[in-house]
Amino acid sequence: MKAERNEILIPFDFKEESIHTIYNIAPLVNFLKPKVTLLYVIERGDFFTQSLRKKTEIDLVKKEVEKKSAEMIKDLNEKNPEIKYNTVIKVGKVYNNIITVADEIKPRFIVMGRKTEDNPDERTLGSTITRIVRLSQHPVMLLKCIPSCPITFKRILVPLDITEKTKIKVFNAIAFGLNYNAKIQFVSVLRSDIKTKKSLIYKKLKHAQKTVEENGLECSIQVYKKVDKSMIAQLIMDYAQKAQSDLIMVMPQRESFLKDRYIGSVAYHVINHSPLPIISLTPAAGETDSEIIMKSVFDPVGLFGK
C-alpha cells in the first residue's frame, strides 16, 4: 500500500516572506494533516568564506536557529495543533540542500515565499527560487508575501496546450479543485488562424471541461486567437486578473537533450512576473501523482486514455 504523501517542505531564513509563508500555509494544507519540515540552510560561499566560517561559528548559528525556530514552532503548535512541525538545519549551498532534503522526504509540495512588488518590473525571482523550480522533482508552490492576508484557492487557472502533458495538468487541476472545492479555469491560445471551434485545442479544452464538471467541479474555458509568442504570458496574466484567479498552475517543459529541466519562456515569464501564487508542477511529479488521482477521477470522454 502506497504511503500518503503529506510532507510539506518550507525553506526559511527568518525574513518576512518566509515567516509569512510558514504562518499562512496552514489553511491550504490542513486537509492533508501534514508534517511540515522547516529547512534552514547556513550558507557557505567560496573557499575564503568557508575558511572564515569556522565550526565554532557555525555551531553558534545553529544554536541560535534552534532557539528561534523552537519559539516559532511553539507558537505554531498553539495556532495549528493539527499540523506537526519540525526544523532541519543544513550547511552549504541553499538550493542544493533544498533539493537534497526534498529528495529525502519526498514532499507533496515545496512551499516558498516571495515578495510581491508594486512595480511589475521589480517582480523578479531570486536565483535560488529559479533553480528550485528548474531542478526540483517535486511540485513547487510560490506564495506572495502579504501580511495578514488569508490565502484561498477558490479559482485555479490552468493554461493548456496540445502537448502530451495536458492530461497530467488536468489530473492535477482536478486534484487541487477537489481539495479546495475550487473552480477550474482553463485558458489557451490558438497556434494558427483557424476558427476557434474547429481547432484541436478547443476540442481538448471542451473534453477537459466535461471531465472536470463530471467530477463535481465548476469549470470555464477561454481560448484566445493567435498572438505573437512574446505576448502569450502577459495574455495569461491579464486573463488571470480578469477572471479573479487565486492560483496559476504551470508545468515547465523538458528538453530531450538536457538532463536538467529548463523553464520555457511562457512558463518562466508567468512564474517570474505574476503577482498571484504559482504552483509549478514537474513532469516527473505530475506522473507520480497521476495513479493516485486516477482512482478517484471520473473520465466521461476518455481524456486520460488518449
What was the pLDDT predicted at 259? 39
Same fold yes or no, 1-147 and 152-306: yes
Mean pLDDT in residue range 28-32: 80
Tell me which of 113-127, 144-158, 170-184 is least confident.
Answer: 113-127
Check pLDDT > 90 for residue 183. Answer: yes
Mean pLDDT of the chain: 81
pLDDT at 125: 55
Q: What is the pLDDT of residue 284?
A: 52
User: Regarding the domain delimited by 1-147, which CATH topology (the fold level of the hierarchy) does it fall under?
Assistant: Rossmann fold (3.40.50)
At 223, the pLDDT band (50, 70, 90 cuts) reads very high
Residues 57-72 have pLDDT tens digits of: 888 889 999 999 999 9
State what percent of residues in the chain have pLDDT above 90: 41
Of residues 117 and 44, more confidently modeled? 44
The dihedrals phi and psi of 140, each to the nearest 5 degrees, come to -115, 125
The closest of 137, 84, 70, 79 to 110, measured between CA atoms, is 137
Examine the pLDDT at 257 and tell me if it is beyond 70: no
* Domain topology for 152-306: Rossmann fold (3.40.50)
Banded model confidence at residue 48, pLDDT cuts 50, 70, 90: very low
Residue 96 pLDDT grade (very low, low, confident, very high; cuts 50, 70, 90)? very high
Domain ranges in the chain? Answer: 1-147, 152-306
At residue 145 the predicted structure's pLDDT band, cuts being 50, 70 and 90, is: low
Question: Burial level of 56, CB count in 10 A (0-12/13-18/19+)?
Answer: exposed
Q: What is the pLDDT of residue 245?
A: 95
Q: Give the predicted TM-score (pTM) of the model.
A: 0.81
Section 198-225 average pLDDT: 94
